[in-house]
Structure 1
Amino acid sequence: MTVTVTPPVRRAAAVPRRVRTLAGLSLLSLALLLAAILAGAASTGASLRTIGHDAGPQVLATTGLYRQMSEMDALVAETLLLGREYGPQQQADLTAYDQRRLEISESLLKAYRLALDNPTEQRTVEALIEGLGRYERLAAEARLLDRQSGHTAGQPPAPVVAAYQRATDLMHRELLPKAYNLTLETGTIVRRAHDAERSATALARTAVVVTGLLALACLVGLQTYLTRRFRRVFAPALVVATVLGAAGLVTGAVLIERQGRALEEAKRGGFDAVLTLTRARAISRSMHGDQSRYLLDPGRKDTYEHTFLDKARAIAAVESTSLPDYQSKLGPGFQGLLGGVTGADRTRLFTAYQRFQQADARMRGMSGAAAIKFWDGELTQAYEGYDKVLEELVRRHESDFERAIDSGDGALETLWRLIPAGLAAGALLVLAGVWPRLREYR
């Protein structure tokens, strides 16, 4: 009978080969964990930059464009409605008009930069620039005719009204719809970035967990093999490497989750709220302009009353058949753009908005100089009080937006600074842990 005995040399050679294999797998799994964390961080970081520092702020700038243009047209109507006895106020309105024009130029520049890779949006911005030039020429013609007429407060002469009609028709039928469409078009960039981030965060979190568990399994397997083969309780370097791998897994998953949560808060609690409230503010400013146009152009007062009602329903929707019916039925259960406001903010906003609507109802019951005086005093004060509440809410949500973006940026900075260093140290400790055992076979 022949007994085959494995040569000691072969058995001895198998041990370092297994150690090298297990060590290599451990290093590879740590590299995969690092790659998964960095890939997830890069993806969510790109979305964070898009929403927080690039497209998001620029989209909000295009939303402000609608309000600036609405106010521009309303200021023209106010200067024409006020007579020569309101000279200082007319000059103040013209100064405000020039300021709005400057703000519009800046907003259009931001919008054009955002649209560099979108020909459709570029054409929209270019059409707005060209259209605003035409509007300014018409508005200047109306103001010139108004100065030449020297009329007192109230409806100006027919040529002035006709010139303003051409200007305001251009603004409301062509320019404002384009400005609104521009906001919708640029807003898709943010929505796409947000949707992509949600998928990327879920995938990155899964990849980190899988590669992290694989790394821990390899490290534990290497530690177990060395303990059994070399009769040692543990290898301190490998224990520390395993702890660093576990820390990398937990920290990476937590930081990626924190980035995703920050982006979600920035999008829903900040960006969406600011977008909605800014839109409501813009429409409200246009409503206030409709009130001055209602007084300026009695021949179209039914039209301006109807547009006022349409805008009011968009802001705070209630079932109604006419403006008086709307104002009588307006209650705290309204929907519309402001329907998402809750709690004390909703109560405060409703009170201010209702006061504005009540003042409007009183103004429409007056005529002539009394209506203009009321519009210039109590009605404008009611509007400004309501607008101030809206502005405060916008500023608060802008702060929420910036705070969420800062939180995501902080998580990203921590991730890039700590995790690569920790996992690299873990890899070096793996080499340090197996090197003394390999030397025994040299």
Structure 2
Amino acid sequence: MTVTATPSTGRKRSVSGRVRTLAGLSLLTLALLLGAILAGAASTGSGLRTIGHDAGPQVLATTGLYRQMSEMDALVAETLLLGSEYGPQQQADLTTYDQRRLEISESLLKAYRLALDDPAEQRTVESLIEGLGRYERLATQARLLDVQSKHTAGQPPDNVVQAYQKATDLMHRELLPQAYNLTLETGTIVRRAHVAERSTTSLARFAVIVTGLLALGCLLGLQMYLTRRFRRVFAPALVVATVLTVAGLVTGTALLNRQGQALDEAKRGGFDAVLTLTRARAISNSMHGDQNRYLLDRFRKDTYEHAFLDKSQTIAAVESTSLPDYQSKLRADFQGLLGSLTGQDRERLFTVYQKFQQADARMRTMTAEAAIKYWDGELTQTYESYDKVLEELVRRHESDFERAIDSGDGALETLWRLIPAGLAAGALLILVGIWPRLREYR
């Protein structure tokens, strides 16, 4: 009797053991698939947070800071250049100056909050705050001397110019470089996050595909064994578990791809374009300020003309030996910051930029009094038309940036909500599918 019972007991244990082993491998590979998907989601989610919510907005805020500070200094020069007969316009300039000062305060506060984990960036922001206080004291001194002089439109007295020189030197030699360095530091964080995310996302996709195929292989092996051993064509729970695994594999891979594409679009089509255009706008604003300073400061006319040329070459580079040579050779095949633009955007921006340069060339051939009137009218209008086009392009690419980040965030939210639930249901169905067969061997 013992001899006949032993083989039956051994076969039972062998069959139930194989079922348990195949089911255990299926559950293990499902867990690995879920882990690979969640690890990839966590990595791309980190990249999205860095570019879309942390370092990315900080870079854009600090780039705007450069433009706002440059405009503050240009407005001071403008109020000094206008005479007492331009009282209403001077007051309007001072109102705009106060607005820029408020915007700078908000930008610095935002930059400081985003730099809480970086002591070096915090020190840079603190140094800018302290430096702007010194600048305002010097600018106020120049304004007070100007009011006391009661000069008419044109170059103010030498003591006013000398007081302003101290303020503008502080701005251009210390504060603006600090603001630009702050942008570079946070821009490096964004570039590193993007490179790291691309590498990690590729690895995560590979891991998802491998673990997904292993899970499908184990599930198919389990179903084939049950079909062959128990002579059943289908195990409905296992069929549904297989469908859920396929869905998890396909959906997880698709969502990881969507996150990666969203991050790539946010970085290249949004962030990089906004950064380039905002920097171009900031430098262009400084160029307009150099025109003000050229008319204001007879001691440094050549210096400001050379500064205008250097910044022009940064915006749209062409081979030239002097500012008149540059303005005569300026063509649509330029390089420089705006050289990456294509199509209608490039043509439209080049048209208004060329008009701005032509107006500048005309201003420099006039007498001092005529140049000031021309600067106060047509020249400023051509600059504002050029700046308006830049601003429109910035706003459009900002929308592209925000849309890409929202798309990536949406994919991440969907992934965290659906994939774990689907794969957990698949694991439960595996247990449901094998439980009746195991009961036969109890």
> How would you bin the TM-score normalised by the shorter chain?
over 0.9
**Residue 363 of structure 1 corresponds to which residue in structure 2?**
363
Q: SS where residue 374 of structure 1 aligns?
A: helix
C-alpha separation in 2, matches of 1:368 and 1:322? 21
Q: SS where residue 138 of structure 2 aligns?
A: helix
Q: Deviations over 1:300-321 (max 9, x none)?
A: 1100000000000000000000
C-alpha separation in 2, matches of 1:114 and 1:184? 15
CA drift at 1:119 = 2.3
**Residue 330 of structure 2 corresponds to which residue in structure 1?**
330
Q: TM-score, normalised by structure 1?
A: 0.98
C-alpha separation in 1, matches of 2:402 and 2:117? 26
C-alpha separation in 1, matches of 2:302 and 2:310? 12
Which runs of structure 2 are paired with 1:211-250 in the superposition (5 Å)?
A: 211-250=211-250
Q: SS where residue 320 of structure 1 aligns?
A: coil
Q: TM-score, normalised by structure 2?
A: 0.98
Which runs of structure 2 are paired with 1:164-203 in the superposition (5 Å)?
A: 164-203=164-203
Gaps of 5+ in 2: none
Which runs of structure 2 are paired with 1:311-350 in the superposition (5 Å)?
A: 311-350=311-350
- For 1:46, give the aligned amino acid: S
Q: SS where residue 28 of structure 1 aligns?
A: helix
Q: SS where residue 299 of structure 2 aligns?
A: helix
Q: Deviations over 1:174-222 (max 9, x none)?
A: 1111111111011112112111111110111011001100100000000
**Residue 91 of structure 2 corresponds to which residue in structure 1?**
91
**Residue 291 of structure 1 corresponds to which residue in structure 2?**
291
User: Which shifted more, 62-71 or 105-114?
Assistant: 105-114
- For 2:355, give the aligned amino acid: R
C-alpha separation in 2, matches of 1:377 and 1:95? 20
Identity of aligned residues (%): 84
C-alpha separation in 1, matches of 2:367 and 2:314? 27
Say whether residues 1:258 and 2:255 are aligned partners. no
Q: Deviations over 1:136-188 (max 9, x none)?
A: 10000000000011110000011101100111111111111111111101111
CA drift at 1:57 = 0.9
C-alpha separation in 2, matches of 1:368 and 1:14? 103
**Residue 437 of structure 1 corresponds to which residue in structure 2?**
437
- For 2:240, give the aligned amino acid: V
- For 1:309, give the aligned amino acid: L
- For 1:92, give the aligned amino acid: A
Gaps of 5+ in 1: none
**Residue 424 of structure 1 corresponds to which residue in structure 2?**
424
C-alpha separation in 1, matches of 2:123 and 2:429? 59
- For 2:54, give the aligned amino acid: D
CA drift at 1:392 = 0.5
**Residue 108 of structure 1 corresponds to which residue in structure 2?**
108
C-alpha separation in 2, matches of 1:343 and 1:326? 23
Which runs of structure 2 are paired with 1:265-280 in the superposition (5 Å)?
A: 265-280=265-280
C-alpha separation in 2, matches of 1:386 and 1:417? 47
Superposed CA RMSD: 1.2
Say whether residues 1:372 and 2:353 are aligned partners. no
Q: SS where residue 298 of structure 1 aligns?
A: coil
CA drift at 1:5 = 10
- For 2:280, give the aligned amino acid: A
C-alpha separation in 1, matches of 2:329 and 2:4? 101
CA drift at 1:6 = 6.5
Q: SS where residue 317 of structure 1 aligns?
A: coil
CA drift at 1:118 = 2.1
C-alpha separation in 2, matches of 1:54 and 1:120? 16
- For 1:35, give the aligned amino acid: G
- For 1:340, give the aligned amino acid: S
Q: SS where residue 234 of structure 2 aligns?
A: coil
